[in-house]
Amino acid sequence: MTDLAVRELPLFPLPDVVLFPQEVLPLHIFEPRYRMLLQTVLQTDRRFGVIRWDPQEKKMASVGCCAEILQCQTQEDDRSNIVTMGQQRFRVLEVVREAPFRVGMVSWIEDATDESPETLNALAGNVTQALRDVVDLTGKLVGRPSSLPNDLPDLPRELSFWIGSHLGGPVADHQQSLLELTDTGERLRQEFALLDQTRRQLAARTVLKDTFKDLGEPPRDPS
């Protein structure tokens, strides 16, 4: 590991928030310590670390994502609304300062895989199809058709990050572990398993709904 791969980074722990690369995160800064953090990073490279804080365990995760400030609007009372975008992931090696805000010594994390581009593309295709099925089935169940965005990433790694960030339900419960994975193929496989399970559940509910629809509504109780 070279010196360039390690640096001090101001840390912003957020309860149950997991930021992924290339995802936008708006924040309202009001606590005095985070106002100081904001002033500090605006004077340097506009970057700080967003990292999940577990309210139940009272503990910070070991892996987070660097956020770059794209926009900042400061009000008269020194509160600020900022818009950030996730950049590279990092692992906290140690916390080197707690006050006035937390600062960690971090190392950057990158994905690595032994799998061929063809294998990764095939995995990405399977995940995308499962995602489309989940969106279509959800639309049928709620009676409101929906579709995926036109700018859905097609590169395997970027797609895996997008899914980890945007999907609720069972995927949301696994966001931190998906962020921490350093193998694109493994992340896609886990996401496919979660999406496929959701797809099967939604398909069963859709069949049940259609069955009751075909049977007609049950007679109302005259009382």
Range 155-161 average pLDDT: 96
pLDDT tens, residue by residue, 73-129: 999 888 999 999 999 999 999 999 999 999 999 999 999 888 999 999 999 999 999
Identify the pLDDT of residue 211: 67
**Mind spelling out the 3-state secondary structure of the chain?**
CCHHHEEEEEEEEEECCCCCCCCEEEEEECCHHHHHHHHHHHCCCCEEEEEEEECCCCEECCEEEEEEEEEEEECCCCCEEEEEEEEEEEEEEEEEECCCCCEEEEEEECCCCCCCHHHHHHHHHHHHHHHHHHHHHHHHHHCCCCCCCCCCCCCHHHHHHHHHHHCCCCCHHHHHHHHHCCCHHHHHHHHHHHHHHHHHHHHHHHHHHHHHHHHCCCCCCCC
Query: Given 2.60.120.1440, 2.30.130.40, 1.10.287.610, 3.40.50.10470, which CATH number is that of 3-109?
Result: 2.30.130.40
pTM for the model stands at: 0.86
